[in-house]
Every structure is written in structure tokens, then in C-alpha cells.
Homo-oligomer: A and B are copies of this chain.
């Protein structure tokens, strides 16, 4: 329906979202969630204008055409807080730990993104893959070539997607063709901020790649950029791999630890995200908490590269909580959908919990931290939606179905996927029409994250428009 330039639509179905952080409701996590078995979402010009039970909302919008999506769970679109646009093609590359893998597999591929045609083609494939994965917003790394950042923003603009990215700054550790001089980084970042930041749904992140790849000059320019453009985001990496941590310490001998490098350059604060943080000390996690900076937890990548297990329960310490967002970390990660990221995060949490239950080492026992590692469906889907939005300081725009927010969402088919999925789910919820309670919905959603993959993403909607529909399987 179009009235005087206003585009309106409404979607009816089963909605599941969050109003609070489930870690604050241990033992009764459903109190953080909202489940409407028969809900109606009204969208005006891409934003949610009304939301609630169908029977209550519907009478307020007579004559409005309604799209029904029965047999699906409708969730806010997934937010991927850490992904490398130019690594899509080197997903699942064999055999090396972080520093070697970058040199052997990643940098040769990233170099191709200096070619605008290649970057444009890749951007089309990347956004197609994001939508098929159920991801509606991402914070992405590009390469050290400005054209790669341009290609990314322009493809995102064509699709009207809320994204965060920026020119990736690296001026050492890689071959020259993969680097950018710090002066050029500063100048081009300023230009790109002016051209893209807050234009449409684009947001800019000042992006020094990581301390190992950045000289003092590069980090100092990053500091200047953040001071000049405080509304911009900051995106980087930290403490992914023990060897990387050691190299970072050697390169910055005056800094007491890895976090101190980013602190020195004024980068650690709200709107700053550092990927991984596996080997952060307790002291560093407390400083992240105090600064309001976020860690992107990328379990698929952390296992695939053998980097280690992020201490989720420690980060969620209520005394010093660290903001956490999930990341696929393509191409270190080996799947793009957050459903697979949630699966692996669950496994990390379970392994962490075993180490903390005292059965192996009584000194390591911490049952409260063990509990905080348990990646329930509430905690998992919270981090994938509202929690991720909060960590990225996007929760005024995204993360749940509150009116005023942007209408990005996914329709999950809880029966799709591997052969046994439908039978498994029929044990969780016997009513063929779907879950009746929030706990039943959460049980189905756990099945989707535990056994599922992108096949469970049936539709992805951007700003109130269907942007992806899964291909049907022939009978």
C-alpha cells in the first residue's frame, strides 16, 4: 500500500525476539524473550511502525495488505559483528595457524580486490551469501584498497542493508600489494567517511587491521580519525592466537599487554570492536568492560584456525561484563550463517564448562562461570540479534521488533536441513502448527542452531521487503 509516498506492509506470523539480556535472567531466561504465536508486524518506509498480537494490532490498520508466513519463526535479522568480505573465496582453506594462513591463503586473495571489477563481482556474491545465511547486518573488514570498500558500500546501498565497514589499514607484515601506507590510509579513510558514513544505511568503521600489521604511524592516524570523526565505529582484532600475542608484545615493548596498544591510541571505547580476544587476560577483559568496548566472538574461526576457546563465561562476569557480538569471521570461519556460529559457540561453552566444573582440576572450579558459558537458545539468539546490536551500539536501530526500528528479519523453517531434522523437532514440539509457548519456541530454535544451517533460513527481509527466498526442492 502506498499513500502519499509512504510505503506500508504488514507481516503476520510467529515472532520471537528479545527485550533484555538473558544472562541477567539465569534460570528464567524466557523472561528476556518475547514470543507471539500470532503476531503482526507493520512496516512503514522500512521501519517498524506497529507490532503486537494480530488481534490487537490488526484493527488499527484496516485495509492493509498482510503477508502471512505460517510454519515459520520470525526473528530479527542476524547481526554478524566480524566478517572479512574479501575472504569469501578462501573459506575453508587448509592447514595453517593464523599468521601462516594469512600469508599463504589470505593475502594473495585479498590482493585481487585492488581490481574494482573483481571487488564488484565479489560484493554481489558476498551479499547474496549473507542473505542466504539470514544475516541482515554485518561489520566487515575489506582490504587495504579503497576500491574494495567502495564496492562493498555500493553493493550494500543497492540492497538497502545496514552495514559497517571501512578501509582496512595494514602497513606491515604483509606483502606490499596487500598494504597501504599510513598517509594514504588517513587520507582515503577521510574521503570514504565523507562519501559513505551515514549515507543511506552505511556506517563507517576506522579499521586498523591488528597491532601486528600496523605501525605506530598507522595507529596514530587511526587515533586522529576517531578524534575527528567520533561518530565512526572502530574495528580491529586482538589476541586471537598465542603466537600472534607474542609478536604483538615484541612489536610494542612499551605496552604491558595487547589491549594497551589500542588504549594508547585512544581506540578502546564504545563503538570499538576487537575480534576474538581468546587470550585476553582477566585484567584486559576488565578494561574492555570499563571502556565499553566489544569483543567479537568467532567460534567457527577460532576452532578452524586452532586458535583456542574464547572464555565466554568470564566475559559475561556480571561484575565486569564485556559486550559480545558473534562473528562468522569468514574466511577463518567455515560457514557464513550465524546458525552455525551459534552451534560452535555452544560447543565452546560446553567445553569451557567442563574445564570449570572441577572434574579435571579442582583449582579451576568456578561453577558460576561454568553456568555463564552455557549457550542456551535464549543466550544464542539474543547475541545474534539484540545483544549483537547492543555490542555494536546499533540497538537504537536494530535488534528486535520494537516500533521505530528498522524492519530487517528472517523467517526460519525449523524442519529444514539434514534428514533427521523434522523428526527431531517433532519431539520438541508435537503440535504440527508450531510452538505454543516461548519455551517451546526456544526448544525448536535450539534444534535449528544445534542441527541446522543455512537451509533453515527460508526468507530474509530487508527494511520490510523480501530480499531472499530459499529455492524449493523438487519433490
Binding site for B on A (CB under 8 A): 88-95, 97, 109, 125, 128-129, 132-133, 241-243, 246, 303-309, 330, 334-337, 343-344, 346-347, 349-354, 357, 359-360, 374, 376-377, 418-420, 423-424, 426-427, 443, 446-447, 450-451, 453-455, 471-475
Contact = CB atoms under 8 A, between A and B. Distances in A.
Contacts of A474: 471-474
B423 A308 contact: no
A444 to B, nearest CB: 11
A91 B350 contact: no
A441 to B, nearest CB: 13
5 contacts: A90-B424, A125-B419, A334-B451, A418-B453, A455-B455
A420 B472 contact: no
B128 A92 contact: no
Given A242-B360, A359-B243, A91 B451 contact: yes
A306 to B, nearest CB: 3
A379 to B, nearest CB: 11
A430 to B, nearest CB: 12
A94 B377 contact: yes
A419 B328 CA distance: 14
- A-B pairs, 8 with minimum CB distance: A306-B350, A92-B450, A303-B347, A129-B419, A242-B359, A92-B451, A132-B419, A472-B474
B351 A306 contact: yes
A100 to B, nearest CB: 11
A426 to B, nearest CB: 8
A446 B94 contact: yes
A133 B418 CA distance: 8
Given A335-B451, A357-B97, A471-B473, A423 B88 contact: yes
A427 B89 CA distance: 7
A354 B303 contact: no
Given A307-B354, A418-B454, 12 more contacts: A88-B424, A89-B420, A89-B424, A90-B424, A97-B350, A129-B418, A132-B419, A243-B359, A246-B359, A334-B451, A453-B453, A472-B473
A418 B451 contact: no
B89 A354 contact: no
A329 to B, nearest CB: 13
Given A304-B346, A359-B243, A450-B94, A125 B354 contact: no
Nearest to A279: B360
Contacts of A109: 427
A366 to B, nearest CB: 15
A450 B93 CA distance: 8
Contacts of A420: 88-89, 91, 125, 129, 330, 336
B351 A303 contact: yes
Nearest to A348: B303
Contacts of A335: 418, 451
Contacts of A246: 359
A125 B473 CA distance: 19
Nearest to A305: B350
A454 to B, nearest CB: 5
A473 B420 CA distance: 19
A306 B129 contact: no
Q: Considering residues A109, A303, A309, A419, which has the most beta carbons from chain B within 10 angstroms of its beta carbon?
A: A419
Nearest to A426: B89
Contacts of A309: 351
Contacts of A97: 350, 353-354, 357
Given A351-B306, A473-B474, A334 B427 contact: no
Contacts of A451: 91-92, 334-335
